[in-house]
Structure formats: structure tokens, C-alpha cells
Structure 1
Amino acid sequence: MEITVIGGGNGAYAAAVDLTENGHHVRLWRRDKDSFQEVIQTQAINVKDHKGSRTVLLKLASTDLKEVVAGAELIVIPLPAVSQQSLAKKLVDVLEDGQVIFLPPGTFGSYLMAKVLVEEGCKAKVVFAETGTLPYLARKYDEQTVSISGRATRLPTGVFPREQSEHAFNVLRKAFPTVEPIQDALDGALMNAGPIIHPPLILMNAGPIEHFDKWDIHNEGTQTSIRNVHKALDEERIQIREALGYDAPHFPLDDHYNLEGEEWMYGNGAHDKLVDGEDWYEPLHLKTHRYMREDVACGLAFLVSLGEWLEIPVPIAKGLLSIASAVVGEDFRETGRTMENLQLASKTKDELKEMLERGLPHYEVR
């Protein structure tokens, strides 16, 4: 299958090499031309995983977005949520009818990107899908090398608009056989593990993060008290899901840590895979890191706004969002990805469900 991967981060590089090795024709686009030079020159990415080290030749690595997108059945965008709006504007004139755009994860970016495309006059009829996590546990060593330490075994995925689900899953399963259909894109957005895992980890480890040169929040930073906050925050997520009519399985975060029982997105014992080695040590600037700008400002702010829209108390989420706002010096409840800022707060639940089913007609968005 012809597949486009957009991005230059851990997930994009992992997707490009993994999908290529699975027999697909993969084109990779990255905005940063200077950092992309090695890959463009060699048309290849180096990968390290349990099979060893090797070089994988891509069909195309380019900074020409139209060239990379043309003719692709599937467009995979494993980019931080903060990039979705600007990227959608770049895609307006290059998308083609029938293409499936996959956001792993999405943070309800399927709706946001569709809204931007409509507002910008995009004529292509495309379908969005989003899931709860990256399909890979991966880290880049440098601008040409990625390490893959795990692959998702379950990818709960929702489609926007829902009525196009059959087409979307027919395409998605060719590339990601572990996708599991769920109700719609909001169902998929509320599977996102990042806004549950990362806000407690960065905020409750803020002192060590700022003090030590190296501090692995997934290893040393994951202690009993933080796990307790994870559990309470995840219960708020599940309460919101249930209020919106989304059924189990909810993929509770506890299953990420368990060695047996219900299989989580990366399989049993996923947390042990995560902390096995030093791939997960990385510089973490609290004001700019994606855990703050994506998982807090987008994901956690969205969860808080949904709770308020549904009139469901979410004290843990609200408390963490307030602390994060104080750390950064920005009111994420006002500036983040919220029902208000997405222009959805005035809708009823029935109106929201109808929109999730049908999508956004050109006359609806102003």
C-alpha cells in the first residue's frame, strides 16, 4: 500500500521503517529540512530493535509535501497535537478524495483538523481516525537512527466521521492489524493515555526534573503516591467516557503496569518494557516539553472542559491543570484545547453525536 508518514519525531521515524519492513511503499515528509538532510541524502533510516541494527530504505524522503502525499491511501501523522492546526493548513491543497488520515494519538485532532480543512476551503473528501497511543515505544538516537523497544498490540481507534468507518478500517488494517474499532473519534480521543500518564509524572517530579541532570520519570519517578494520582485521574476519564455513552473496554491505565490480566495497548508488562534500558532518559524542560504542551495544554485541558460541559466533577484533572498553569505562567483552561476553543461548548450531547456521525458539512463551520 502507498503510505505517507508526516513528521520527524520518534513515532514518525518508527512508523516509516516499520511500515516499510512490512512491505508497504512509504514516503516520509519532514518540515525541518536541515535536520532531515541525512535521511534525504541516503533515502534511509537506521533502526535498532530486538532483531538488531539495520538500515531501511524508504520509497521517498522529501520536504515536498505534495509529492509525498500524492496517491497515498493512508496518511499517518504521529505528531504532537500542537502541530495539527498548522499542518492541516498545509494539507488543504494536496489532499485527495478517499485518503485516510491516522492520528496516533489524536487528542481529538480529527475534529480540529477537519474543521480547519473546511474553513480553509479544502475540497478533498478525506476520513480521519485516531487512537489512544503511538503504535510504537520508540526513541530517536540521532537524526537518522531510531530505536524501537515495543509495538502496540491493541489500538482502540475511532473514525471521523463515523459513517465512514468501514472504509477507514479497510485501509487501516492493511498497515496496522492491531486496530480495534470503537464508536467514533471522540471515543478514540478519550483513550489517549498521555494526558493521564504524563501530567502527574512531570508535576509531581518537578523538583527532581529541574535539579538532576538525568531523571527518568517513568522509572525513578513512578512511585506509589504518583500511581495513586494516576488511578484517580483515570477514574475521572472513565466517568466522562461513560457519561458520553462509551462502553468498556476503557483501557484503564492500571493495565499498563500489570504483568497479567487484561491486555493493555502495549500488552502485559508494558511498563517494564518502557523502563528497560535508557532510551527514556531525555531533557525535559517543563515549560516547553510535549508532556506539558500536548498532554496538559491539549489533553488535560480538553478533559477538564468536557467534565464541566457534562457537569461532572473532575477535581484531580482540574487541580493538575491549575498547577501546570502556575508552573508555566499560562492559564491552560483559557488557552488550551477545550470545548470552548473548539467551538463545541454550545452543542448538546445529541448534536455532538450527530456531528461525530456525519462530519462537518461545508456550510456548518464559520
Structure 2
Amino acid sequence: MQDARPIRSVAIIGAGNGGCAAAADLTLQGFDVRLYGRSAGTVAPLKAIGGVHYEGVLGDGFAKIPVITNSAPEAMDGADAVLVMGPTQAHENMAATVAPYLKENQIFFAAPGHTLTLLAHTLRRLGHKQPVTCESSTLPYICRKTEPDKVRVSRKSAKLRFAAFPSDRTEELLQRMLPLFPSLSAVPSVLDTVFYYTNAVHHPPALLCNIGRVESTDGDYCHYYDGITPSVGKIIDALDRERVAVAAALGISVPKLSEHFYQMNYTSEEGRKGGTAYDVFHNSEPNRWIRAPKTVDHRFFNEDIPFGLIPFSELGRLAGVPTPVCNSTIMLAEIATGKSYWDHALTLEKMGLSGLSVADVKRLLERGYA
């Protein structure tokens, strides 16, 4: 049954970069915010001051947050919407954390989403027979915690692709979520949001190509501006072409990296017109001064490969589209780090899609679980 009640109270699950940015932003907008963090060390500095300091495009100030807690039920009690604001590698654990306390009338929203049916499959496995979820393709912000109790928001996303599972709930949930994030824009299904995970296209190859520099300097350079040279950009462009091709084979039209970054307000008109990854990042003001990782044991590999490149590869296999650049990037990163990123990756089996055809998957995304 559809619900048109306005959202007044939100529980934010995750007190990292995105969670703190959302807590500050939504507090400033007048929403009742409750902030949950799993780690006591993350929550303690925020709880000690009763909120979070913020700077950047939100201005400079302090957002008072009435509930900051390590208790998910305390954060979720009475909330109209539960907002999962954490890395994709934490989605399964976050869904498992909220599942026992999630009520049927509470909106379950994830940013970034792009884990296809993982959230719904996890909720179903834990007792929700017909779960409903919604998500955006990326975080609503470019943001970083500069101190344990302070977040810098460099940019608010200009366009956030939005979809629900099942997709017949998208329009209803979009209208309820728009007051929180006005840049939300509906796409046909959560399959669409998967292919807007462009971090997976540029983070792993850029780190892989600069791995010697990271290890010899502890990342003493600007990751995007210095690390993405014309030659590195060509590898990113090739990987991006595979992303677009797999999406097209599944009936989804997605823009190339340069157009997507321009739509998100992450690069300039010059970056869009140039059309290459090199042009995009050398004309990206919000990314210009971001420093490189200090180690290769970093989310650019640990998150963006198992939850980005591997799903692209898996969906390519499902659609019958070869992904040699994607597969080679995964393999070389595994050799360099000694890790097997497939072990805990977002595979078709992990999402509950093993053995299904393309038609079966699309039917599930449209109608949900019977």
C-alpha cells in the first residue's frame, strides 16, 4: 500500500563521510536527524559535542543532532526513513543491522546504491518477505571528514539517479524523498544505478598505474590531477567503454564518463567537450586537490573492485558481453596485492540472481519478490 506521508524524521545509518554530511545537511533543512554509527570510536567524538561541525558549500557551522548512538533500534525508533550512508562493501552488514527493527512503513534508502538486489535479498533472507528499497546512484555529496567531529562538503551532486526495488514503487518513493534530496531523478530500475558506479571505472586503474608512486612516496601527490595522465586516462576510457557496452546489452542507456561527470557538476564544460578521462579530471575542480591513498590497501581497490568491477564483469557474462579490460584490471590488482577480490565480491550468487536469465532478472526488478 502506498504511503504519501511527508518525511520528518530520518535515521542515518553510518557516521562516516557521507553520513556526517547528510546529518549536517538534513539538520540544516529542518529534519529531525538520528545518527547511528557501528564503531564506538567513530560515534564518541560526535556524541561528546552533540552534533557535527561542517564547512564547505553548506557554510561553516555546527549541526546539533539530538540522537547520536551505537544502537540501531534507538536511531530507527519513530523515523520515517532509514538512510544507509555507507560504502557498498558494508551494505550487507548494514542491511542485516537494520533488518530486525525495520518497520513496513519506514522507507529504506541507500546512497550510494548500485548493489542491485543485494539489499533486498539480504532483507528477505532476514525475514522481510516482500522488501521494498530505494537508492541513488551515488552519494549526494563530495565530502570528507577532516576531523573526527568535522565534515567538509565540497560539492552537492547536481543529479542523483534514483530507483526503487521493485521499480513499480519508484515514482511514489521519489516524491517522498525529493524534499530531502531535490536533485533526485528517476531511472527505470536499480539495474540502471549499477552502471552509474563510475568510481569503479577510474579508481582501480588509476591506483594500479600509480602503484609504484604510492608505495615509494606514501601517496604524496594529487590522485586525480597528477595520477591520471593521458596514458592512464586511455585505460580508464577503455574500461568505461566496456561499462557502457554491458549496460546497452541489458537495454540500459548510460552516458560516457565525461558526460556523467558534467551532469553531476564534477567537471567543467571543457572537461565534457574534451571527452576523455584525462580531460574530465584535469577540469574537475572538486577533485583537483584530493590526495592519493597512502597505501594500496585502500577502498579504491578494496571496495571499487569487488563491488564495482566484478559486478560489471558478472553482468557482462550474463548479457554475453566480453569485458577484457575489466577482467585484466581485476587480475593485475589481485597479483599486486595478493588478495582475491572475488572471495567477498558482489557476484550474481551474492545478489540472489544465480541461474536467472536476463528476462528473469528484469522481471524481478520490476515486480519484486512474489
TM-score of the superposed pair, with normalisation by structure 2: 0.89
Unaligned runs of 5+ in 1: 258-262, 362-366
Which amino acid is 1:241 matched to?
A: A
2:327 paired residue number: 318
The answer as to whether partners of 1:251 and 1:264 remain within 8 angstroms in 2 is no
The 5 Å alignment of 1:153-164 reads: 153-164=158-169
2:223 paired residue number: 217
* SS of 1:299 mapped into structure 2: helix
The answer as to whether partners of 1:99 and 1:127 remain within 8 angstroms in 2 is no
Aligned residues: 349
Aligned residue among 57, 69, 77 for 1:70: 77
2:245 paired residue number: 239
1:345 Cα deviation from its structure 2 partner: 3.2
Is 1:357 the counterpart of 2:366? The answer is yes
- Equivalents in 2 of 1:234, 1:241: separation in Å? 11
- Equivalents in 2 of 1:183, 1:78: separation in Å? 22
The answer as to whether partners of 1:5 and 1:26 remain within 8 angstroms in 2 is yes
1:335 Cα deviation from its structure 2 partner: 4.2
The answer as to whether partners of 2:85 and 2:111 remain within 8 angstroms in 1 is yes
The 5 Å alignment of 1:293-312 reads: 293-312=302-321
The answer as to whether partners of 1:132 and 1:191 remain within 8 angstroms in 2 is yes
- 1:273-305 CA-to-partner distances (Å, cap 9, x unmatched) read 22344xx22644323x11112111121011111
1:286 paired residue number: 296
| Superposition CA RMSD, Å | 1.9
The 5 Å alignment of 1:19-30 reads: 19-30=26-37
2:265 paired residue number: 266
Is 1:13 the counterpart of 2:20? The answer is yes
Is 1:183 the counterpart of 2:188? The answer is yes
- Equivalents in 2 of 1:347, 1:52: separation in Å? 49
* SS of 1:274 mapped into structure 2: coil
Unaligned runs of 5+ in 2: 1-7, 269-279
The answer as to whether partners of 1:100 and 1:126 remain within 8 angstroms in 2 is no
- Equivalents in 2 of 1:332, 1:38: separation in Å? 33
1:79 Cα deviation from its structure 2 partner: 0.8
Which piece of structure 1 moves more, 125-134 or 303-312? Answer: 125-134
1:256 Cα deviation from its structure 2 partner: 5.6
- Equivalents in 1 of 2:200, 2:266: separation in Å? 20
The answer as to whether partners of 2:266 and 2:286 remain within 8 angstroms in 1 is no
2:113 paired residue number: 106
- 1:57-108 CA-to-partner distances (Å, cap 9, x unmatched) read 1232111211211222222222111111122221121101132222222231
Which piece of structure 1 moves more, 112-121 or 180-189? Answer: 112-121
- Equivalents in 2 of 1:282, 1:40: separation in Å? 30
1:255 paired residue number: 259
TM-score of the superposed pair, with normalisation by structure 1: 0.89
Q: Percent identity at matched positions? A: 26
1:126 Cα deviation from its structure 2 partner: 4.9
- Equivalents in 2 of 1:52, 1:73: separation in Å? 27
Is 1:146 the counterpart of 2:151? The answer is yes
* SS of 1:83 mapped into structure 2: helix
- Equivalents in 2 of 1:294, 1:142: separation in Å? 23
Q: 1:253 to 1:111 in 2, by over 3 A?
A: same
Is 1:196 the counterpart of 2:201? The answer is yes
- Equivalents in 2 of 1:52, 1:349: separation in Å? 46
